[in-house]
A and B are shown apart, each in its own frame.
Chain A
Amino acid sequence: MPWSREDMAARAAKEMEDGFYVNLGIGIPTLVANYIAPDMKVVLQSENGMLGMGPFPFPGEEDPDLINAGKQTITALATTSYFSSADSFAMIRGGHINLSVLGAMEVSENGDLANWMVPGKMVKGMGGAMDLVAGVRRVVVIMEHTAKDGTSKFRPKCELPLTGANVVDMLITDLAVFTRESRAGQFKLIELAPGVTAADVRKKTTAAYRQ
Chain B
Amino acid sequence: MSEKHSSKIYPDAKSALRDVLKDGMTVMSGGFGACGVPENLIAAVHALGVRGLTVVSNNAGLDGFGLGVLLKTHQIAKMISSYVGENKEFERQYLAGELELEFNPQGTLAERIRAGGAGIYAFYTRTGAGTLVAEGKEQRVVNGETYILETGLVADVALVKAWRGDTEGNLVYRKTARNFNPPMATAGRVTIAEVEELVEPGVLDPDGIHTPGIYVQRIIQGTNYSRLIEKLTVRSREEGAHAVVA
Contact = CB atoms under 8 A, between A and B. Distances in A.
Interface of A: 30-31, 33-34, 38, 44, 46-50, 53-59, 61-68, 70-74, 76, 82-86, 88-90, 92-93, 112, 117, 122-131, 134-135, 161-166
A163 B81 CA distance: 16
B198 interface: no
Given A56-B234, A73-B232, A73-B233, A64 B85 contact: no
A30 B245 contact: yes
Contacts of B127: 93, 130-131, 134-135
Given A49-B178, A165-B130, A57 B35 contact: no
B105 A126 contact: yes
27 contacts: A31-B246, A33-B244, A33-B246, A38-B242, A47-B107, A48-B33, A55-B235, A58-B237, A59-B237, A61-B234, A64-B34, A67-B230, A73-B233, A84-B183, A88-B107, A89-B107, A93-B125, A125-B81, A125-B84, A127-B82, A130-B108, A131-B108, A134-B125, A134-B127, A162-B132, A165-B131, A166-B130
Nearest to B226: A64
Interface in B147-180: 163, 173-180
B63 to A, nearest CB: 15
Contacts of B177: 65
Nearest to B229: A64
Interface in B174-191: 174-183
Interface of B: 32-36, 58, 81-86, 91, 94-95, 103, 105-111, 113-114, 125-133, 163, 173-183, 210, 227-237, 242-246
A128 B58 CA distance: 10
B181 A84 contact: yes
Please report whether the interface of chain B is mostly helix, strand, loop or mixed according to DSSP. Answer: loop
A198 B209 CA distance: 58
B113 A64 contact: no
Given A86-B183, A123-B103, A63 B175 contact: yes
B219 to A, nearest CB: 19
A127 B83 CA distance: 5
A84 B187 CA distance: 14
Contacts of A127: 82-83, 105-106
Contacts of B114: 86
Contacts of B84: 124-125
A131 B106 contact: yes
A85 B36 CA distance: 12
B182 A86 contact: yes
Nearest to B146: A165
Given A63-B175, A128-B82, A134 B183 contact: no
A62 B128 contact: no
A118 to B, nearest CB: 13
Contacts of A48: 32-33, 35, 176, 179
A67 B216 CA distance: 26
A112 B111 CA distance: 24
Contacts of B103: 123, 125-126
B33 A71 contact: yes
A73 B82 contact: no
In the A-B complex, the 3 residue pairs with the smallest Cβ-Cβ separation, listed nearest first, are: A89-B107, A165-B130, A131-B107
A50 B35 CA distance: 13
Given A123-B103, A128-B82, A162-B131, A55 B111 contact: no
A86 B235 contact: no
Contact of A130 (B91, B105, B228): B105
A61 B188 CA distance: 35
A131 B35 contact: no
A136 to B, nearest CB: 11
B245 A56 contact: yes
Q: Which of B84, B174, B181, B232 gathers the greatest number of chain A CB atoms within 10 Å?
A: B232
Contacts of A74: 233, 245
Contacts of B94: 122
